[in-house]
Amino acid sequence: MAGFRNALPLIIFLAIGFAAPLLAVIGYSFMPERSFGLLHPPTLENYAAIFNGNSYISFGWSLLLAVLTVAFLALICYPIAYGLARVFGPWAPVITLLFTIPLFVSENVRLYGWLLFFIKNGVLLGTLKSVFGLELESWLFTRPMILLGMVYVYVPFMLFPMTLGVSMVPNETREAALDLGATRWQVFREVELPLSMPGIVIGFLLTFVLAVGAIAEAKILGGQTVIPITHDIEIAFTYAQNWPLGAALAVLLMLVVGILVLFVLRRFDLDAVLGRR
Amino acid sequence: MEGMSRSGRHALIWAWTIAVLVFLYIPGLCIFLASLTASRYFQFPIQRWGLDWWRKTFDSIEVHQLFKTSISIALAVMVIAVVIAFFGALAFARYNWKGRSIYQKLVLLPIFFPQSVLGLALLLWFNAIGLELSWKTAVFAHLVWIIPVVTLVISIQVYSFDPALEEAAFDLGATRWQVLREVTLPVLLPGIVSGSLFAFLLSWGNFPLSLFTTGADTTIPEYLYAKMVAGYTPGVPVLGTVSTLGAALLLLGGYWLIAMRRRQKNSREGS
């Protein structure tokens, strides 16, 4: 029972701070339009409004951008994760630290740095103009720019779980496969990839979930080219002053994310991913 | 991949990693450059360099207040998060108990949750129970996300902890409190230090949770965002640089502390 006793404060806190707010959101999503209390008779009109409206476009963009972010990050991070687990040796902690530092700076500030980089007369275009006499149009406020921002922000969330996964592959197994005449490619496909899968899948999941909830990239770097679902939700809560509609959108987003997370996490032995050295 | 030698492959991995690191630090560099201009608007190459905006920013009373709010929130979050997460991590990784596997997944849920939605959910919840928003509600909001992260960080340390140490101390007649103070805490200290750093820094840089839960109080990330959207001055990059450098220094300091302690321990064991 010692385990439960130690877990108790955390469980109580999450009940008040996580479960209860989610119930509040669900409650609000059934309240009549533009009401601010929870004591009205429940109604389905918010959901009806969403299914008859064009929120599906925002949902589609959010999901598409999240899938693309995960795909790019998988390719970008795998070599680095491999390096951290096998190649960098004594340098690995320092490199890990360098990848960690940006995590602690507000996302907005870092994205603003990209704005200063890409803006007309900014660091990139200003340099091109003064050194090479090249005058180019700025690429800001385009869709690829949003993707660049998202890939940039979520690097550590893909990298660290992936590194845990790659470290789980025992060196002996790789050596044995090579000794038995497997090519590098075969070792990668038949040994390394399957054995590091738990970490990789956690990285995919974490990045996907965070990317679906992303909002700052589209606002700061994307202009108004894409409105992600989180922006729709925020508008409902702020300008439109329609909390029940925002709550209903949030419930739908939570459903998509929650089902995915529960489905994937259910099959995981977390002790194996986190504990093994 | 096929014909390449081992060292060639390793060189490629090094080069790729360094390229990605450069990519990660470009925005920080741009912000730093933008803070060094003497003119009102950012233009590159910079025509007139100057530190005027640094002085102006540090003299501003508004900025002092921002620092006070942000630091108060981050310190409160750090202390509360580490205490709850310490016991939470023992339950996560040390003890075998019924329900542990469900508990582990429950702890992860808030991490796997879009933060902006979490912030709104907390806003609705505070409103429903009639709490007035201030920096204190922001502390609560940050904790919902940060306690699980810190629990994971400390858990990784707990996994490498040998429970036999505690049992030996009990066998020698130590009380529960003595075992906690003399055995468990010192062994887990590196995990606790990195957990504290994570808690402080994640709270320091958080925007999506603060946005909906601070009420009339303003944190640095909130202020910067408001200024970016409307009313840019070079004070924005100054404040951005300061908060970035502060985070980096704190992290390097903490890392150095852990490394020093490990070296000390090793030399003590060696002699």
Q: Could you tell me which of B62, B210, B32 has the C-alpha nearest to residue A110?
A: B32
> How does pLDDT run across B96-125, given as a tens digit for each residue?
888 898 999 899 889 888 888 899 999 999
Nearest by CB to B30, from A87, A117, A209: name it.
A117
**Segments forming the whole domain that contains residue A225:** 54-275
Q: State how far the Cα of A142 lies from the Cα of B261, in Å rounded to an integer.
A: 49
Establish if A226 belongs to a structural domain: yes
Residue B34 lies in a domain: no
Asked, for residue B32, whether it belongs to a domain, the answer is no
In-domain check, residue A250: yes
Q: Answer whether residue B14 is part of any domain.
A: no
| CATH classification at residue A245 | 1.10.3720.10
Does a structural domain hold residue B125? Answer: yes
Q: Is the pLDDT of residue A276 over 60?
A: no
Beta bridge partners of B49: B37
Whether residue A79 has a cis bond before it, omega within 30° of 0: no
**Count of CB atoms situated within 10 Å of the CB of A20:** 16
Kindly report the nearest CA distance between residue B31 and chain A, in angstroms.
5
Query: What pLDDT score was predicted for residue B200?
Result: 93
Within a domain: A271: yes
Structure tokens at B37: 């201009």
Q: CB neighbours of B249 closer than 8 A, spacing ≥ 6?
A: none
Query: Is residue A18 a part of any domain in this protein?
Result: no
Within 10 angstroms of residue B35's Cβ, the number of other Cβ atoms is: 21
Percent of chain B with pLDDT over 70: 97
**Any domain includes B5:** no
In a domain, A232, yes or no: yes
pLDDT of residue A272: 74
Say if the Cβ atoms of A22 and B121 lie within 8 Å: yes
Which ipTM was obtained for this model? 0.89
pLDDT tens-digit readout, A110-151:
899 999 899 888 888 888 888 888 888 888 889 999 999 999
Res. A277: pLDDT tops 60:
no
For residue A161, tell me if it sits in a domain.
yes
Average pLDDT over residues A194-206: 89
pLDDT confidence band for A260 (50 / 70 / 90): confident
In a domain, B40, yes or no: no
- DSSP tally for chain B: helices H, then strands E: 12, 0
Residue A219 domain-assigned? yes
Nearest to B124 among A21, A127, A185 (CB): A21
Most A CBs within 10 Å: which of B9, B23, B44, B126, as the mutation test of the A interface?
B44
Q: What is the pLDDT of residue A149?
A: 95
Partners of residue B114 in chain A, C-beta under 8 Å:
209-210, 212-214, 230, 253, 257
Q: Which domain holds residue B207?
A: 60-270
pLDDT of B3 strictly over 70: no
Mean pLDDT of A99-103: 87
State the pLDDT at residue A171.
84
Q: What is the mean pLDDT of residues A184-211?
A: 89
Angle A63-B153-B165 (CA atoms, 0-180°, nearest 5)?
150
- Is position A92 within any domain? yes
Q: What is the CATH number of the domain that holds B143?
A: 1.10.3720.10
Put simply, the chain B residues between 152 and 211 with a CB less than 8 A from any chain A CB are 152, 155-156, 159-160, 201-202, 204-208
pLDDT at B271 over 80: no
Residue B270 clears pLDDT 80, i.e. is over it: no
CA A47 centroid distance within chain: 26
Number of domains in chain B: 1
Q: How many domains does chain A have?
A: 1
What is the percent of chain B with per-residue pLDDT over 90, rounded to a whole number?
41
- Among A147-151, A247-251, B154-158, name the one with the lowest average pLDDT: B154-158
Rounded Cα gap, residues A58 and B237, in angstroms: 32
Is it the case that residue B1 has pLDDT exceeding 80?
no
Mean predicted confidence (pLDDT) in A205-230? 89
**Alpha-carbon gap, residue A30 to A15, rounded angstroms:** 22
Q: Please compute the mean of the pLDDT values over residues A54-63 and round it to a whole number.
A: 92
B11 within domain boundaries? no
Distance CA B223, CA B220 (A): 5
Task: Specify if B66 maps to a domain.
Answer: yes
CB within 8 Å of A168: residues ≥ 6 apart: A195, A196, A198, A199, A272, A273, A276
User: pLDDT band at residue B91, thresholds of 50, 70 and 90?
Assistant: very high
How much is the pLDDT for B58? 86
